[in-house]
């Protein structure tokens, strides 16, 4: 379980999140919603350990381990996977090579040949309707927003995530792409009990991946929490209740 306890976060001396409390259980789907500027992406970055943000007070636990001060790579090794809203480019780092290195890191016992691995990722790329040519290019170098999002998912498929944070997955992707991605995520939820935190400002994603729980974030504070029914309230009345 991921658990945020009384978390207050600031950046450049300005408080962005105040006293945040929530949990994400294995196999659970939690939606974190709020208007732009509410601090949703900050929660994603803070969970992953971005050094830009300062934890003023509170703690973060992953499977009972206090990860509040842990480096990003150690959190990744514990099974945390952040799918970025705008992943950066690393020119010259070939996608294929990068995916292979992630795979080896998370599956040290598996003896798979590079050629088999290549076929695997080509097949996944095709299913995601991603041009397999991109596998030979530098990571995200010149890729469109949608292509970058699909790249995030390819990385998810070769690592061994226990908790997935999806930061604004729908921006840059069409409905068909979202459906395919969510189908794959649902499989990981049922096969591996992947816990998923969906960060979004629109309720339309719930059609493709139904939430177990919804949290509404506004101006850095969790204003309300409840079941999926909360979403139709937001749709009719807006975020400010």
Q: Give Cβ neighbours of residue 216 (< 8 Å, ≥ 6 apart).
A: 33, 34, 222, 223, 224, 225, 230, 234, 239
**Under rule CB under 8 A, residue 42 binds another protein:** no
- Distance, CA of 221 to CA of 84 (rounded, Å): 22
Query: What phi and psi values does residue 163 have, to the nearest 5 degrees?
Result: -135, 130
How many C-beta atoms lie closer than 10 Å to residue 203's C-beta? 18
Q: Give Cβ neighbours of residue 17 (< 8 Å, ≥ 6 apart).
A: 7, 8, 9, 39, 42, 43, 46, 220, 221
**Under rule CB under 8 A, residue 63 binds another protein:** no
Q: How many residues bind another protein (CB under 8 A)?
A: 30
**Under rule CB under 8 A, residue 88 binds another protein:** yes
**Under rule CB under 8 A, residue 1 binds another protein:** no
Distance in Å, CB of 1 to another protein, minimum: 20
Distance in Å, CB of 240 to another protein, minimum: 32
Show the site string, 93-112: x = touches another protein by CB under 8 A, - = not: xx---x--xx--xx------
- Distance, CA of 62 to CA of 53 (rounded, Å): 19
Among 103, 109, 118, CA closest to 155: 103
**Under rule CB under 8 A, residue 192 binds another protein:** no
Q: Of residues 13, 92, 133, 237, which one binds another protein by CB under 8 A?
A: 92
Please give the distance of CA 42 from its chain centroid, rounded to a whole number.
12
Distance in Å, CB of 212 to another protein, minimum: 25
Which one, 94 or 224, has the nearer CB to another protein?
94
Which one, 3 or 160, has the nearer CB to another protein?
160
Please give the distance of CA 178 from its chain centroid, rounded to a whole number.
14
Q: Of residues 36, 51, 64, 229, which one binds another protein by CB under 8 A?
A: 51
**Under rule CB under 8 A, residue 238 binds another protein:** no
Interacting residue ranges for another protein, rule: CB under 8 A: 48-52, 71-73, 75-77, 80, 82, 84, 87-88, 90-94, 98, 101-102, 105-106, 138-139, 155, 159
């Amino acid at each position: 379980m991921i658990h945020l306890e009384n978390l207050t976060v600031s950046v450049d001396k300005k408080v962005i999140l105040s006293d945040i409390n929530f949990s994400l259980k294995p196999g659970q789907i939690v939606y974190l919603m709020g208007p732009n500027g509410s601090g949703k992406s900050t929660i994603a970055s803070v969970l992953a350990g971005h050094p830009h943000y300062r934890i003023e007070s509170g703690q973060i636990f992953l499977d009972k381990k206090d990860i509040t001060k842990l480096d990003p790579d150690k959190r990744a090794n514990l099974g945390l996977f952040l799918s970025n809203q705008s992943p950066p480019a690393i020119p010259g780092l070939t996608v294929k090579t990068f995916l292979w290195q992630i795979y080896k890191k998370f599956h040290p016992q598996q003896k798979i040949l590079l050629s088999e691995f290549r076929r695997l990722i080509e097949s996944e790329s095709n299913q995601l309707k991603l041009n397999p040519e991109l596998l030979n290019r530098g990571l995200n170098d010149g890729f469109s927003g949608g292509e970058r999002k699909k790249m995030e998912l390819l990385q998810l498929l070769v690592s061994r995530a226990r908790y997935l944070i999806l930061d604004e997955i729908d921006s840059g992707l069409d409905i068909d792409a979202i459906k395919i991605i969510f189908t794959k995520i649902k499989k990981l939820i049922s096969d591996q009990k992947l816990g998923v935190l969906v960060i979004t400002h629109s309720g339309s994603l719930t059609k493709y991946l139904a939430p177990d729980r919804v949290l509404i974030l506004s101006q850095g504070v969790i204003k309300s929490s409840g079941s999926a029914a909360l979403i139709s309230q937001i749709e009719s009345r807006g975020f400010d209740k």
